A and B are shown apart, each in its own frame.
Chain A
Amino acid sequence: MPQTVLLVGTRKGCFLVTSDDRRDWEVRGPFCEGWPIYHAVFDESTGTIYAAGASEWHGTTIWRSPDLGETWEQSSEGLAYEDDGRKLTKVSGLTIRDGRILAGAEPAGIFESADGGRTWSLLTRLEGLPGRPEWDEPSNQPPGHLGLPAILPHPSEDDRFWAVVQGIGIFETTDGGSSWTPRNRGLRADWPREHEEIGFCVHKLVLAADGERMYQQNHCGMHRSDDAGKSWTEITEGLPTDFGFAAAAHPHDRDTFYVVPLDPGHGRCMPDGKAAVWRTRDAGETWQRLDRGLPQRDAHLGVLREGMAIDRLADPGLYFGTSTGQVFTSADEGETWTEAAGYLPGIHSVEVAVLD
C-alpha cells in the first residue's frame, strides 16, 4: 500500500496527516510558522509541497517544502499588483500546471511561477470580462472581498483551464489566460444581476473522470454540466439543503460525486448537528446520505470550499476537514468514516497525495 499524505491548511499553519494503510494516521506539524494557510498542494513531478499563506501582519507569501515538510522556505517575490496600487490580500487556489504553479489571488487575478515558487509574476487580472470595472471596484465588494479562489486545469490541454471568481462566476480560457469566456449559463442566482453572464456564486467546481462533465456546489444549489461548463443543470433535489462549499468528483466514475450540504444561514454547519457527506452515483438523479462513523449528535461542523479531497487509488479514499479542526477519512468511498485528527486549528483546505 502506498503512503497517503493529507495536506491540511489551517488557521495556524500547515499540517501533514500521513498513513501507510489509510486507517491509522499520524499528524505532523504545524509547519509554515503558524501562518494561516489557505491551500496546500503536492507537485507529483518534483515532490514539492506548496502552501499559500496570508498573515495579517506580514502579508501574503507561498511556502514550499521539497522534502515532505522537513524544511520550508517562502517567497513572495513578484506577488503584487504593480499597476493600480491595489493591495494583494490573499492567495489560494494553488494549481500545478505543465511545470508551472498557478495561484489565485484576492483581489481577483492569477499569478504564476515557472521556477518552483522562487519568483512569481502576474499572469492575468481577467481583463475584458463583462462588468469587470464594476465588480472589481473595491467599494462595491462585500466583506472579505471577491477573490479568485480556484483554478481548475483541463486534464490534457495545457492552455485550457477554468477560474472561479467569488460572487461572479466561472470563466474559461483556452489560450493560457489571454482571453476568457463566462461559463455560467443555466446557473441559479437568488438575487438581481446587472449582467446576464455573470453574478453567480460558485463555491466549488470539479471535473468528473471523463474530463468533460463538471459538477459544482453553488451558493444556490448543486449543478452539473455535461458539456465542460457551457451549460448547467441543477441537481439539488434529494439533498437536505441547497448550500455548501466542499465537493469532490470520483476519479474513475463520471456519475459519482460527493458534497457536504450545510445550513445556508449564518451558521453554515451540517444540518441538525449531525455530520454527513452526501453522494450521488447517477450524476445527481438520486443522493445517498453517508454518515457511518461520523458524529450524529451536537456536531455543528462546517467544511470550507477546499475542505474535501479524494485520492486516485482504485478504491478511492475520501477525506474532509472541518472549520473546527477535525479530519475525517474514509477508505471505502465514503461508506464508513474514522477521525484521523480531532484537535487541529480550523481547517481551510485538505488535499491528498499518494506516494508510491
Chain B
Amino acid sequence: MAHLRLPPTLQPLFAGLPRRLDVDAPTVAAALEQLDERWPGLQDRLCHRGPELRMHIHVYVDGRRADLDAPIGDTSRVDVIAAISGG
C-alpha cells in the first residue's frame, strides 16, 4: 500500500478526510479517483477536467515531481502539495 499525504486545505471540505492515508492504486490518477469515490468532489479540488493537475497543485512520488500518469509502488510515498504562495 502506498502512503499518501494530502494538503491541510482539503480536510475542512470533506468530512472524515484524513491528512495521511494508505491507497492501493497503480498510478497517481488512480489513487485520486479512489479518493473521489469515497469523498465525492475531492478530485475536482486537485484537478481540472481532463484530468490534469491544477496549476498550484504539485505531486511528488518518492520525492520526485510526478504527474497523474506516474506509477506508484507498493511502498511509495505520495505527497500532494498545495503550492506555497498567496498572502
Contacts and interface: CB of A to CB of B under 8 A. Distances in A.
A219 to B, nearest CB: 29
Given A76-B41, A76-B44, A77-B44, A57 B49 contact: no
A35 B83 CA distance: 15
A57 B82 contact: yes
Contacts of B86: 56
Interface string B40-74: 11001110111000101100000000000000000
A196 interface: no
B16 interface: no
A57 B49 CA distance: 15
B34 to A, nearest CB: 18
A80 B85 CA distance: 25
A252 interface: no
Interface size class of B (residues with CB under 8 A): 20 to 34
B54 A59 contact: yes
B1 interface: no
A195 interface: no
A74 interface: yes
A231 interface: no
A81 B49 CA distance: 8
26 contacts: A33-B13, A55-B9, A56-B85, A56-B86, A57-B7, A57-B54, A57-B56, A57-B57, A57-B82, A57-B83, A58-B13, A58-B45, A58-B46, A58-B82, A59-B44, A59-B45, A59-B48, A61-B45, A74-B13, A75-B41, A76-B41, A77-B41, A80-B48, A80-B49, A85-B49, A87-B48
Given A56-B56, A58-B54, A76-B44, 16 more contacts: A33-B13, A57-B7, A57-B54, A57-B82, A57-B83, A58-B9, A58-B10, A58-B57, A59-B44, A59-B45, A59-B54, A75-B41, A77-B44, A81-B49, A82-B49, A85-B49
Interface of B: 7, 9-10, 12-13, 40-41, 44-46, 48-50, 54, 56-57, 82-83, 85-86
